[in-house]
Structure 1
Amino acid sequence: MNATATPTRPGVRSGLAALELVVGAAAVYGGIGLAAGNLIGMPADWLAGTPFGSWLWPGVFLLLVVAVPMLVAAVLELRGAPRAAVASIGAGAAQVGWIAAELLVMQRYNVLQPVMMLAGLAVLLLAVWGHRAVR
């Protein structure tokens, strides 16, 4: 064990990093796809009733709120950094918050929402459980 790293259960860091990389990559794909002119084909009417006139800002926010925290947390987990647990908990909470805000603001449902909500919860719970002191 690295002297500066927090003790973890075996396999937690690599499992968390893998999940964070998948969610982060999906958020990069979605964020760029939205910001670059809705290349992923989201219905324009989903913006009705939101403060957004185009998909540009939702794409930018997806990159900043979900992709960046997930990818930073993955790198910290892979490096065994002392702050990896905090980063993973924050990234998981950001993902859950993103989906909750998306449902509240847009009031539209997509099959990916529960999948990504579960992924965010998994990151959050794995980080809390896996980074507890191992006895």
Structure 2
Amino acid sequence: MSIPRLAGVALLVVQAFVAVTAFLGGLALTLGALAPSMATAFSPPEDYLAGTPFTSYLRPGLLLGIVVAGTHTLAFVLVLRQHPWAVLASAVAAFAVLIWIFIQMIFIPFSFLQAVYFVSGVAEAGFVMVRLGLFTRIPRAA
């Protein structure tokens, strides 16, 4: 299997992981905000919202579930179909998760999941660069 093809498979795996878990996380935050009795161990403490523009996890949950999961789902489908815009969609998805994590780290104390999604976003960006051929061997001048 060639390196760009392997990068494509790895990209699909990362995109599927982020899409599914971001959707489920967004759903958990949204349901927890709409029905506090449904808040689970996956919902962060309300104290984390102090000093943020949010009074509940409703908007962050919707953003996570729609924007982060949505961009990853779209990128996944485009990569799977080898669409001409697949690389662009993958780059947008990588930046979406990285921006999400950077903003989250400003307000919420560090957690292992932040590291997991930061690494996912960086890996995704790296796979995009491989697919663009940015790491091909440059021939030496004679």
| Global fold match (TM > 0.5) | yes
- 1:80: which partner in 2? 82
Q: Which amino acid aligns with 1:87?
A: A
Who wins on radius of gyration, i.e. which is larger?
Answer: 2
- Alignment partner for residue 31 of structure 1, among 26, 45, 56? 26
Q: Which runs of 5+ in 1 are unaligned?
A: 1-7
Q: Could you tell me whether the CA contact under 8 Å between 2:78 and 2:85 is conserved in 1?
A: yes
Describe the SS at the equivalent of 1:127.
helix
RMSD: 1.8
Counterpart of 2:109 in structure 1: which amino acid? R
After TM superposition, the score normalised by the length of structure 2 is 0.82
Q: How does the TM-score come out when normalised to structure 1?
A: 0.86
Residue 55 of structure 1, CA deviation: 0.7
Q: Distance in 2 between matches of 1:58 and 1:130?
A: 32
Moved over 4 A (4+): none
Name which structure has the greater RCO, CA cutoff 8 Å, separation 6+: 1
> How many positions carry a matched residue from both structures?
127
- After TM superposition, give the deviation of residue 108 of structure 1 in Å: 1.7
CA contact (8 A) 1:27 1:63 kept: yes
Match of 1:12 in 2: 7
Q: Please report how far the alpha carbon of residue 63 of structure 1 lies from its aligned counterpart in structure 2 after TM superposition.
A: 1.6
The percent identity for this pair of structures is: 33
* Partner deviation per Cα, 1:77-119 (whole Å, 9 max, x = no partner): 1111111000111100111111001112x14211110111010
Instruction: Determine the C-alpha separation between the residues in 2 that align with 1:121 and 1:114.
Output: 11
